[in-house]
Each structure stands twice: as C-alpha cells, then as structure tokens.
C-alpha cells in the first residue's frame, strides 16, 4: 500500500498540532511508522486519505460496537442536527437517555452526563471525596482513567505506550493523594485498604483492565474489592468507559455480578460521539450541585447530538441475542487466532474477555502490569506495520485492546486470520 497523501498530511499537521496529532498514541511512534489519516468509515472498515481500506479492530477505541456509520444512528443524528447542535440548556432527549442508562446499569440510580471519559472519572472521584470527606484515591498499576492530574500515576494507555513516567506539570501536592497498587494482588489490596492512616475516599478500577492490554480480574479479586470497600466505607468506582455496554448491556458489573457505588461510562453511550457519564447510588449522586455542594458543570453536557445518537445506539444494543452473538463471534475468532499463533512458533499470549482481546508478544501469562511489561514491543511494532500493509487496522500500541464489532463479517475475520498467519511467519 502507498501512504503518499497521509505522509503529506502528517507533515502539514506537525506545523500546527503538537506531534501532528490530537492524542499521543495516534502518532504511531511506538510502532515505528507514521500514522495513516482516516477520511471515512463504514461498517467494519475504515478508509485512509490514499483510498486504502482496512478491516477495523480499533473501533474508535471501543465505542463502535455496531460498526461505523450505522444507518439508525446516522438517521438519529440527521433528525437532531437540523434543530441545532448545542443549546447549553435542558433537553427532552437527555431525560430519555438518562432513563435508559439507569434501567440498564445495575449500580446507577441517577446519572450525570459529561463530554468525555476523563471528565466522568475526575468528576466521580471529586464526588467520592466530597461524599466521604476523605482525600486519598487508590488506583491500580496499568489502569488508565483519563489524563486528569490524579490519575497519571503508573497509568496505562498512552503513558506506558510512550514510556512516560507520569507527567511533568502535575504538582506533588496532587499526586501525593493517589496510591497505585498492583492489579489482581489480593494481599496488597487488603493491606492498603485496611491502613487507617491513609484516609481513603475511593478506589477506582477498570473491572477488566483495557489500557495495559486486556487483563481480566482473577477469580475472587473484584469480590474481595467490593467486600472490603463496603466494610470500610470506601466508595468503589468502576471505570466502565471501555466495558460499559460492551461486555453486556449492563456492563462488567452485570457480567461479573459485582455492583460498585459509582460507575463511569464513555462514548459508547453516545453512539461514538463525544460524551461520557458518571452515575450511581442516589444517596451519593444527590451531593452534586445543584442538589448538593460538590460542583461540576459543562456547557456541552447532555448536548442534543450525542443524546440522539446515544438513544439510537442503546436501542440497537437491546436486540435479543446481540451480546450472545458478539461473544460467539469473538470467542471463535480468538480460538482460531490462538491456533495460528501456536502453529507459528511465535510466543503470543492471547487475553480475551467478551469482545475485548489483546495478543501480547510474550510466552508468559499476562495478569497484571508487570507481566504486561514483559511483552516484546518491537515484535508488536513489526506485526502492526505488516498487518497495516495488508489492510488490517490494529491499535498502534502493544498495550491497547482489539475490539470485535457486530459489523465484522466472517470474511473480515478470515482475512484478519490469514494476514496474521502471514505476519507471524515473517516475524521469525
């Protein structure tokens, strides 16, 4: 494939945009190439500025569970946009979508819409601090909760992709109130939460880690986390920006039957438009202004376009058998992918939960941040470039998740398997 137009666009972008991109991983530095510039998407495919077509396993980093440009979502957007794009005022559609979210997500009795996952997580933490009167936030190594100051301590996603140890610009006085502990480690979990001197307000966790690659909670881990936080009066926050409405209609909390106090959601509830939400027990949510003293606001919160697209998207996800079919498709693909890896001799550990999966280039099981860091990023980079050249669009980072969508056909998945087999042979 040729990338002449994309290369010209990247050169031009770097004149005006830091690094030429508006989110760091997109620069493709960790995979040793320049980015392709996407101009169009439809169904299971994305198309770049040179006219190349790719089977898409990024899915806009998750929310395109139905595939791109689904006609029901496009129709909903057309119907909304003719009436205006933003009012900064209450709308009927935000009530409709809020009711759908409350009905769907077990932990949510009331919900507040925001404009991004980062905004949702930082607002949920502020609320937990205000509700408990405590200061300290506990997170887990390799889990990413957006780029708010409190979260960039041993974070995942682009932070580990680019090898950035936290971030300059964050005062010590802020991060001193964030503690990061190993994911899936029951002993350290209990020791930390029972330390009365720590003044812990909340624990925030990706119930399935998706930003150091896909890492599932080990048996009993979420159950112990829930029982400890309940016992100690610590607010438990599930960051379901990735897992919400993807693992099941009720998210990871329904999938594992573990109910947190607060839940954060992302762009999947807006059909892929810029939107986020946080919600939970009414007792806690009633502390948000104007009902309570914890302040949070946003002009674009509940904007009419995202609400219309979200209503259409959630209606599609309500179809009987949708999640069973997606699970069967993902499971079958993962099994065949594992067979390809095994036959190739390339050391690959495939982690999958539902329609989320990551192929780690390591011979060891990946269960936490430290084991994820043993993956061979150079080998992944070569694999990424080879797959891109054959029309398969993967995340430009070893430490991200591949997503299966309802739009991917058997032919799409078969093409990905054949190209993976070819790529693995060329890695040896």
Is-catalytic flag, 239? yes
Residues 208 and 290 in one domain: yes
CATH number (domain holding residue 344): 3.90.1150.10
Is-catalytic flag, 144? yes
Residues 313 and 337 in one domain: no
**Whether 109 contacts 337, CB under 8 Å:** no
Residue 175: per-residue pLDDT: 79
Residues 6+ apart with CB under 8 A from 140: 180, 181, 182, 183, 205, 206, 209, 369
Residues 183 and 273 in one domain: yes
- The pLDDT > 90 percentage for the chain reads 91
Q: Domain boundary at 317, 337, 363, which?
A: 317
Residues 121 and 163 in one domain: yes
Residues 130 and 10 in one domain: no
Q: Domain boundary at 291, 317, 343, which?
A: 317
Residues 184 and 313 in one domain: yes
Q: Which of 107, 43, 356 lies closest to 210 in space, CA to CA? A: 356
| Active-site option among 239, 261, 376, 412 | 239
Is-catalytic flag, 42? no
Residues 312 and 325 in one domain: no
- Pairwise CA distance, residues 263 & 328, whole Å: 27
- Pairwise CA distance, residues 337 & 69, whole Å: 27
In tens, the pLDDT along 140-192 reads 999 999 888 777 765 545 454 544 445 667 777 777 889 999 999 999 999 99
Q: How many domains does the chain have?
A: 2
Average pLDDT, the chain: 95
Residues 364 and 247 in one domain: no
Crossing angle for the helix pair 221-232 and 186-193, to the nearest 10 degrees: 10
Give the strand order in the sheet containing 356-360: 349-353, 356-360, 402-403
Residues 291 and 362 in one domain: no
Q: Domain boundary at 317, 337, 355, which?
A: 317
Residues 51 and 126 in one domain: no
Kindly state the average pLDDT of the residues 397-401: 96
Residues 120 and 264 in one domain: yes
CA 197 to chain centre: 33
| Active-site option among 144, 183, 278, 393 | 144
In tens, the pLDDT along 322-365 reads 999 999 999 999 999 999 999 999 999 999 999 999 999 999 99
CATH number (domain holding residue 134): 3.40.640.10
Q: Which domain holds residue 105?
A: 71-317
Crossing angle for the helix pair 304-317 and 322-344, to the nearest 10 degrees: 80
Q: Which two tokens stand for residue 247?
A: 């693992």
| Active-site option among 29, 154, 267, 329 | 267
Kindly state the average pLDDT of the residues 32-59: 98
pLDDT greater than 60 at residue 7: yes
Instruction: Enumerate the H helices of 298-321 as residue ranges.
Output: 304-317
Residue 155: per-residue pLDDT: 55
pLDDT greater than 60 at residue 301: yes
Residues 6+ apart with CB under 8 A from 373: 160
Residues 155 and 278 in one domain: yes
**Whether 25 contacts 400, CB under 8 Å:** yes
Q: Write the DSSP string, 132-170.
A: HT--EEEEETT----SSGGG-SS--THHHHTT--S-TT-
pLDDT greater than 90 at residue 4: yes
């Amino acid at each position: 494939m040729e990338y002449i137009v994309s290369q010209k666009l990247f050169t031009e972008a770097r004149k005006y945009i830091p690094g030429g991109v508006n989110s760091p991983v997109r620069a493709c530095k960790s995979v040793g190439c320049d980015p392709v510039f996407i101009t169009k998407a439809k169904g299971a495919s994305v198309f770049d500025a040179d006219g190349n077509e790719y089977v898409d396993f990024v899915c806009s980093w998750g929310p395109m569970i139905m595939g791109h440009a689904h006609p029901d979502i496009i129709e909903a957007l057309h119907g909304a946009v003719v009436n205006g794009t933003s009012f900064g005022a209450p709308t009927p559609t935000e009530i409709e979508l809020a009711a759908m979210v409350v009905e769907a997500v077990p932990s949510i009795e009331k919900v507040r819409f925001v404009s991004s996952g980062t905004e949702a997580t930082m607002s949920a933490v502020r609320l937990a601090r205000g509700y408990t009167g405590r200061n300290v936030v506990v997170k887990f190594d390799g889990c990413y909760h957006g780029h708010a100051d409190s979260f960039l301590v041993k974070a995942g996603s682009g932070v580990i992709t680019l090898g950035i140890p936290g971030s300059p610009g964050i005062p010590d006085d802020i991060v001193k109130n964030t503690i990061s502990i190993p994911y899936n480690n029951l002993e350290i979990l209990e020791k930390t939460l029972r330390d009365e001197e720590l003044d812990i307000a909340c624990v925030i966790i990706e119930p399935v880690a998706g930003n150091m690659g896909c890492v599932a909670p080990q048996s009993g881990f979420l159950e112990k986390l829930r029982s400890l936080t309940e016992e100690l009066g610590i607010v438990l926050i599930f960051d379901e920006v990735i897992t919400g409405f993807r693992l099941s209609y009720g998210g990871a909390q329904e999938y594992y039957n573990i109910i947190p106090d607060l839940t954060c959601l992302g762009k999947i509830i807006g059909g892929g438009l810029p939107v986020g939400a946080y919600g939970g027990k009414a007792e806690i949510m009633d502390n948000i202004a104007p009902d309570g003293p914890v302040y949070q606001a946003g002009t674009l919160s509940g904007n009419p376009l995202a609400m219309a697209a979200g209503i259409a998207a959630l209606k599609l996800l309500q179809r009987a058998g949708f999640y069973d079919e997606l699970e069967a498709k993902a499971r079958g693909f993962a099994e065949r992918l594992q067979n390809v890896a095994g036959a190739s001799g390339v050391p690959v550990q495939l982690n999958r939960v539902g329609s989320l999966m990551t192929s780690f280039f390591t011979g060891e099981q990946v269960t936490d941040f430290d084991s994820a860091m043993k993956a061979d990023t150079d080998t992944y980079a070569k694999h990424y470039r080879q797959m891109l050249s054959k029309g398969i669009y993967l995340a430009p980072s070893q430490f991200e998740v591949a997503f299966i969508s309802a739009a991917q056909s058997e032919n799409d998945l078969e093409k990905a398997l054949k190209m993976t087999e070819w790529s693995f042979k060329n890695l040896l």
